[in-house]
Amino acid sequence: MNDLISSLNPFSAKHHALENFNKLNLLSKLTVIFVTTLASIATAFICTSLVFRLLVGRLKPLDASLTSPQNDLAKKIREAAMPILEQNILPFDEATVLHIFSFLDKNSLKNAMQVCRHFRRIGADDTLWKGEKKLDEDKSLYENYLKREEIVSRIRSKTIQPQETKLRKTAGNSYVYESLLISLFNERIRIYDTKSGKETEFSKPVSAIEISKGHLLCGSSSRLEICNLRTGETLKALAIKPLESCPLSWISQQEGLIFAAYHNKIAVWDPEKDTLKWLKGGHTKLIKDVACYQGFVLTYGKDLRQIIWNLENESILNCAPALPCKIYEGKLISLRFSDGVLNSIDFKTLISSAISFFSPRDHFIVGSEDEVDFGFKTYVVQSKLIICSILRITVGDLNDDKLLYFLSLPTDIPPVEKPRFSDFLLSSKKLIAHVKSKNHSRILIWDFETGKTLFTLPVINFLNFKVMEDARVLVCECLDKLVLWDLEKGEYIKEIPIPTRTEIFRRMSKIAPMPEGKIFLESAYDRILLDFNKKENVNSKSCILS
């Protein structure tokens, strides 16, 4: 081994290279050094380029839009398969290939489509891409899939910024439905289509609107309407007796019924039967929310009363100072303000039973009704009940009435900073919450099934967050920027600068992910549309729609 190393070493005493080099004159020495240096650089460049090309060729992702082989493996498969395909002696027809392809996942199907044009044509059949969203009606489901993948790659790219469009600001909040932005001001309804860039406007003598099942619900003190969402054409209407000093507060639709709140009264319109019923006499202040279940109606008002109504005879079945949370399997889950107990009420029998895995002392100070009403949220996923308050998150099983796990505030935040949970979100088996404090604000992400902490994300000047489900990206809205995080890895992706906002508008901020890689932002004085479907040119300015 030593002899081998000695023979390969050019400076070994065996070759007398250094001894001979010292005998050369100055010009010869410079010539040897110069030529040796050039040879070393050329050798390093050639070896580096060969290794680089080899690694890139093997590791690059496949482009499903190309028909030619993109790596050595695909070339070998093509060379082996083409003689058989050209002779058309396959032992099965296209229908059989389509059936075989139906068992492949999306990535395997894309790889199979690289073999030949026949496989590409069969693999692009719409039956194999049924789960894909139709972003463009003129394209096939496979082409829509490719477009969606391109948009996702732009969102997750660390360098690509979206195109920014400043929209005309309207008084009041905007409603988001698919690719539409709908707003109401001075009895004028304005609809902006983010896909086509067109804006339509029409007059309606209404004071409240809502979007439900692809229709526009409009209401006033004397009329309720169901309208075409894009044209404003009235599809069905009902005239009602005007109520003095009772303007319409809000309108909604549940179980096919239209609910319209007139201060402390509720009008219930059945469009199919064209009948109108009134629920009144129960609340003393504005009704804030309504829910419906098989002929029973639940209302909750600013008087902090929870009322269960029998819709058929318009009578009150139960009235209590409580906060309604969720309806699960014919039972109403609500929080009693008197003792902080979370109980379950059967709609048909009105029998109440306490939920034992919930402890009011762990979530809030008993008797502080304003605190409960402001910071208490619940979610139901299958049989699991998630209870979120400013102090704790509890997850329990409703069927077995047992605690599964609870999540407390981080212990590393000093109590003097008064840390608390302020925002909650449930997305794809992940529970996400914002922890607010003076100097240690952060976002915590847990595994919903086990309660295990997955990621901790630092945030500054936090306002709101939403999830772009297709891209699996968490979008955090801060005072002067959006921060994007990878939900799968918990890694920072990039920042998107937005106009500076002041603390005055913190609670008026709104963020809404939309189809085709768009994000809608709204505050008290501006509306912004960010579009990842269009790459931002760093030398161009934002366009403004006036």
Q: What is the CATH number of the domain that holds 417?
A: 2.40.10.480
Q: Does the residue 444 lie in any domain?
A: yes
Q: Which two tokens stand for residue 60?
A: 């690059």
Reported as a pLDDT band with limits 50, 70 and 90, residue 372 is very low
User: Which whole-number Å values give the CA distances from 530 to 153, 391, 460, 524, in the listed order?
Assistant: 16, 35, 21, 18
pLDDT at 544: 38
Compute the radius of gyration of the chain from its Cα atoms: 33
For residues 436 and 109, which has the higher predicted lDDT (pLDDT)?
Answer: 436
Q: Does the residue 389 lie in any domain?
A: yes
Please tell me whether residues 370 and 395 are part of one structural domain.
yes
Q: What is the mean pLDDT of residues 182-210?
A: 84
Distance (Å, rounded) from C-alpha 135 to C-alpha 234? 28
Q: Any idea what DSSP says for residue 160? A: P
Please tell me whether residues 388 and 427 are part of one structural domain.
yes
Q: Does the residue 402 lie in any domain?
A: yes
Please tell me whether residues 84 and 36 are part of one structural domain.
no
CA 419 to centroid of chain Cα atoms: 26
pLDDT at 331: 92
Q: Does the residue 431 lie in any domain?
A: yes
Q: How many domains does the chain have?
A: 3
Q: Does the residue 6 lie in any domain?
A: yes
- Where a domain ends, among 156, 188, 206? 156
- In percent, how much of the chain has pLDDT > 90? 27
Task: Give the range with max mean pLDDT: 305-309, 389-393, 524-528.
Answer: 305-309
Q: Any idea what DSSP says for residue 280? A: -
pLDDT at 453: 93
Mean pLDDT of the chain: 81
Residues 161 and 534: beta-carbon distance below 8 Å: no
User: Which whole-number Å values give the CA distances from 445 to 376, 435, 458, 485, in the listed order?
Assistant: 19, 11, 12, 11
Please tell me whether residues 105 and 133 are part of one structural domain.
yes
Q: Any idea what DSSP says for residue 192? A: E
How many CB atoms neighbour CB 310 within 10 A?
15
Please tell me whether residues 139 and 47 are part of one structural domain.
no
Q: Does the residue 130 lie in any domain?
A: yes
E strands, 16-106, in order: none
The size of the chain, in residues, is 546
Least confident of 152-166, 368-382, 495-509: 495-509
Reported as a pLDDT band with limits 50, 70 and 90, residue 15 is low
Please tell me whether residues 98 and 37 are part of one structural domain.
no
- Where a domain ends, among 138, 156, 174? 156
Measuring CA to CA, which residue among 329, 401, 325 is closest to residue 363? Answer: 325
Please tell me whether residues 393 and 453 are part of one structural domain.
yes
Cβ-count burial of 167 within 10 angstroms (0-12 exposed, 13-18 middle, 19+ buried)? buried
Please tell me whether residues 438 and 394 are part of one structural domain.
yes
Please tell me whether residues 149 and 92 are part of one structural domain.
yes
3-class state of residue 150 by DSSP: helix
Q: What is the mean pLDDT of residues 59-65?
A: 58
pTM: 0.72
Distance (Å, rounded) from C-alpha 104 to C-alpha 108? 6
Reported as a pLDDT band with limits 50, 70 and 90, residue 341 is confident
For residues 260 and 78, which has the higher predicted lDDT (pLDDT)?
Answer: 260
Residues spanned by the domain of 113 = 72-156
pLDDT by residue (tens digit) across 239-289? 888 666 678 889 999 998 999 999 889 999 999 999 999 998 889 999 999
Please tell me whether residues 451 and 355 are part of one structural domain.
yes
Q: What is the mean pLDDT of residues 194-212?
A: 85
Q: Does the residue 301 lie in any domain?
A: no
pLDDT at 526: 79
Residue 76: which CATH number?
1.20.1280.50
Distance (Å, rounded) from C-alpha 439 to C-alpha 528? 29
- In percent, how much of the chain has pLDDT > 70? 81
Give just the sign of the alpha carbon dihedral 56, 58, 59, 62.
Answer: positive
Residues 478 and 459: beta-carbon distance below 8 Å: yes
Reported as a pLDDT band with limits 50, 70 and 90, residue 73 is low
pLDDT at 457: 93
User: Which whole-number Å values give the CA distances from 121 to 100, 109, 114, in the listed order?
Assistant: 14, 12, 10
Does residue 536 have a pLDDT over 60? Answer: no
Distance (Å, rounded) from C-alpha 180 to C-alpha 194? 6
Distance (Å, rounded) from C-alpha 95 to C-alpha 100? 9
3-class state of residue 179 by DSSP: coil
CA 207 to centroid of chain Cα atoms: 30
Q: What is the mean pLDDT of residues 155-172?
A: 84
Does residue 218 have a pLDDT over 80? Answer: yes
The percent helix, strand, coil of the chain (3-state, each to 5) is: 25, 40, 40
Q: What is the mean pLDDT of residues 202-230?
A: 87
Q: Does the residue 364 lie in any domain?
A: yes
pLDDT at 438: 85
Distance (Å, rounded) from C-alpha 340 to C-alpha 413? 27
Please tell me whether residues 358 and 419 are part of one structural domain.
yes
Distance (Å, rounded) from C-alpha 81 to C-alpha 173? 60
Reported as a pLDDT band with limits 50, 70 and 90, residue 37 is confident
Please tell me whether residues 355 and 389 are part of one structural domain.
yes
